Amino acid sequence: MVKVSVIIPTIGRESVINALESVLNQTYKNLEIIITDDTEDGKAKSKIEKYLSDERVKYVINKKYKHGPAGNKNNGLDHITGEYFTILDDDDILLPNAIEELLNCAQKGNYGMVFGNCLDNVKREFTGKHYGKSEEVFYKDLLCGKYEGEYVGLTKTSLLEGDRFNEECWGGERLLWMKLWKKTQKGFYLHKPLRIYSIDTPNMVSKFYLQKAERSYLNYALFLEEFKEDLLKFCPKIFVRDSLIGIYFAKLAGKYREALKLSLASIKAFPKFSLLPLFWTIFCLIMPKNLVIKTYESFLKKFKGEIKKFFKR
């Protein structure tokens, strides 16, 4: 019976109990559950100590990597022994059949990566882009934005080959996942809700923008550098879109030279649509941060439909 490793990175929040119990209550039982604690004093252990009598539950402290989401997940990856693995944030919940559904799909199609959708914890709406059906997906689909948003996935451990999340980035999981998709080339999307995803409030997001701007900029810069050739070949508009977001974070981080570099790269990638990156860069460089944030958020909200249509064409 195939073993599946479930990594739960935590900072000792009360919600980790619900996350852990949702894994223990899975219909699929051959599990390895790794609680990786990112606190210096082992704060999370007191929350989950009573569950350690279950031989499937392991508790490890992150002493090797930088503190933060990426480093803590890397710590969990170092301890997995299952043939497949998944990662569950400590404020999210797996629905009871999630692992069984994903594993059956992976084994049936011999896929290295499979994923299903999530429901947000407020409106219970799908959090990942979808097309109303389950289907086989390819590296190009993921790279070019056919599937974007929050999902829950199952990945064959052998694909990692020592690769890890970049600790210098904040929210840079996409960089590793895309590397793995490039290795496996194809997988499968299950059009089913398999996880409850805890969403952040707008105020939390705005505060995050200012606090983690430099590391968020690096996330986009490294992604564009790593996948530039494929993006320009398959979907140059996505290269432009991510450049615009990178310019935004570069502004918030005070990295004006880097913002100009991204702007020039975007114009070169898609010269027929050069006015937008040029205008956006000038605006970001000369306007105060608070105005840039408000403009960015209101623009996305007001023209979300039009933006999606443009980048989809």
pLDDT digits (tens, 9 = 90+) for 18-48: 999 999 999 999 999 999 999 988 889 999 9
* pLDDT cut 90: percent of the chain above it: 78
Domains present along the chain, CATH in parentheses: 4-197 (3.90.550.10), 202-312 (no CATH)
pLDDT higher than threshold 90 for residue 189: yes
* pLDDT tens, position by position, 76-102: 999 999 999 999 999 999 999 999 999
- Mean pLDDT throughout 42-57? 94
pLDDT computed for residue 172 by the predictor = 74
pLDDT band of 274, cuts 50, 70, 90? confident
Structure tokens at 309: 């249509």
pLDDT higher than threshold 80 for residue 122: yes
pLDDT higher than threshold 60 for residue 207: no
What is the C-alpha to C-alpha distance for residues 40 and 281, in angstroms, rounded to an integer? Answer: 40
What is the C-alpha to C-alpha distance for residues 135 and 28, in angstroms, rounded to an integer? Answer: 23
Contact residues for 211 (Cβ-Cβ < 8 A; gap 6+): none
- Mean pLDDT throughout 212-224? 92
The predicted model scores a pTM of: 0.91
- Mean pLDDT throughout 286-292? 93
φ, ψ (nearest 5 deg) of residue 164:
-140, 170
Q: What is the dihedral of CA 262, 264, 268, 273, to 10 degrees?
A: 90
